[in-house]
C-alpha cells in the first residue's frame, strides 16, 4: 500500500507542477499582471484541488461502507444506498456521495438532506 501512496503522491506532485507552469504561462500572456492576480489564480487552483480531494475522499469512504446497516430511526437492517450529497465546504461546494440506510418509511433514500 505504501508504494501506491507514494505513486499517487508523485503523480499529484507532477500534476501540481504542470498546473503551476500553466499558471505561469497564463500570467505571462497578460500584460503586466498585478501580483494579486497571480495570487488570486493560485488560490483558486488551491480551492479547486481541495474540493477535488474532498470529493474523492468522501466518495471513497461512502463506497467503502458496509453493504447493510441499521436504519438510524427505527433500527431495521437495510441495504445501504449512496445518494448524491452536496456539502458547502470552506473551499466551496463539493458534490459527492453519502451512505444512507434509512428505510423508506423513515426517510426515502433519495432524500439528500442530513
Which residues sit at the interface with Zn ion, rule CB under 5 A? Answer: 71, 73-74, 103, 106
Q: How far apart are CA 11 and CA 21, in angstroms?
A: 15
Least CB distance to Zn ion at residue 64 (A)? 23
- 8 close to 56: Cβ distance less than 8 angstroms: no
Q: Of 20 and 74, which has the nearer Cβ to Zn ion?
A: 74
Q: Of 57 and 75, which has the nearer Cβ to Zn ion?
A: 75
- 79 close to 86: Cβ distance less than 8 angstroms: no
**Helix spans in the chain (H):** 2-29, 35-63
Of 71, 93, 75, nearest in space to 84 by CA:
93
Least CB distance to Zn ion at residue 73 (A)? 4
Least CB distance to Zn ion at residue 70 (A)? 9
Q: Of 33 and 72, which has the nearer Cβ to Zn ion?
A: 72
Amino acid at each position: 500500500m505504501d508504494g501506491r501512496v507514494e505513486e499517487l503522491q508523485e503523480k499529484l506532485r507532477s500534476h501540481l507542477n504542470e498546473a503551476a507552469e500553466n499558471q505561469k504561462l497564463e500570467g505571462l500572456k497578460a500584460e503586466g499582471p498585478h501580483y494579486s492576480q497571480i495570487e488570486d489564480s493560485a488560490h483558486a487552483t488551491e480551492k479547486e484541488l481541495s474540493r477535488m480531494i474532498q470529493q474523492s475522499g468522501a466518495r471513497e469512504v461512502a463506497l467503502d461502507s458496509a453493504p447493510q446497516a441499521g436504519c438510524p430511526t427505527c433500527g431495521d437492517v437495510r441495504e445501504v444506498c449512496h445518494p448524491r450529497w452536496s456539502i458547502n465546504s470552506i473551499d466551496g461546494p463539493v458534490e459527492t456521495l453519502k451512505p444512507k440506510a434509512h428505510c423508506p418509511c423513515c426517510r426515502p433514500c433519495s432524500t439528500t438532506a442530513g
